[in-house]
Amino acid sequence: MAHDESLKPKKRTPGTPEHVWDETIAARIVECCSSGWTRKDIANEVGISIPTILKHYRAELDEADAVANDTIKNTLFKVATEDRSVPALIFWCKVRMGWVEKAKLEVSTPGAEMDLSKLSTDELIQLEKLHAKASIAPASPSGD
């Protein structure tokens, strides 16, 4: 896994004062974060390392994240309910209501009953491939 060098704490140059919380910087961080900016982009914008932002502006980040998430949630809800967007409705049902899509494979082989509900997805896929191969297999030379 690659390690993002910008997340490493930077050593202060001797004689450089420790960062002190600043109202103007805090306001800009909130503005950027609530607009969906990444931590890296915010750090570049305000000229402070990510660890320093996390150390001194955690409350602002948390509040701005909540505002951004709330905005997206409200927009999704509006799109799902007012615009009746099917993808938005499906997303809501899956995430908020726990709905899942289940594939149903029906196999009909005379004389062979099998409970497929206990098979894993991988096993079902392999079974489907075998079934497809059997369906396109050439006829036997005897003409059967």
Write down the pTM of the prediction: 0.53
Torsion angle defined by CA atoms of residues 40, 45, 46 and 51, in that order, rounded to the nearest 10 degrees = 10
pLDDT digits (tens, 9 = 90+) for 77-114: 999 899 989 999 888 888 888 888 877 767 666 666 66
Is the same domain home to 73 and 125?
Answer: no
Q: Which domain holds residue 49?
A: 20-97
CATH number of the domain to which 65 belongs: 1.10.10
Is the same domain home to 93 and 109?
Answer: no
Do the domain assignments include residue 13? no
19-28 burial, b at 16+ Cβ within 10 Å, e below that, comes to: eeeeeebbeb
Is the same domain home to 35 and 90?
Answer: yes
Do the domain assignments include residue 143? no
Number of domains making up the chain: 2
Report the C-alpha gap between 144 and 138 in whole angstroms: 11
> To the nearest whole number, what is the mean pLDDT of the chain?
82
Is the same domain home to 93 and 117?
Answer: no
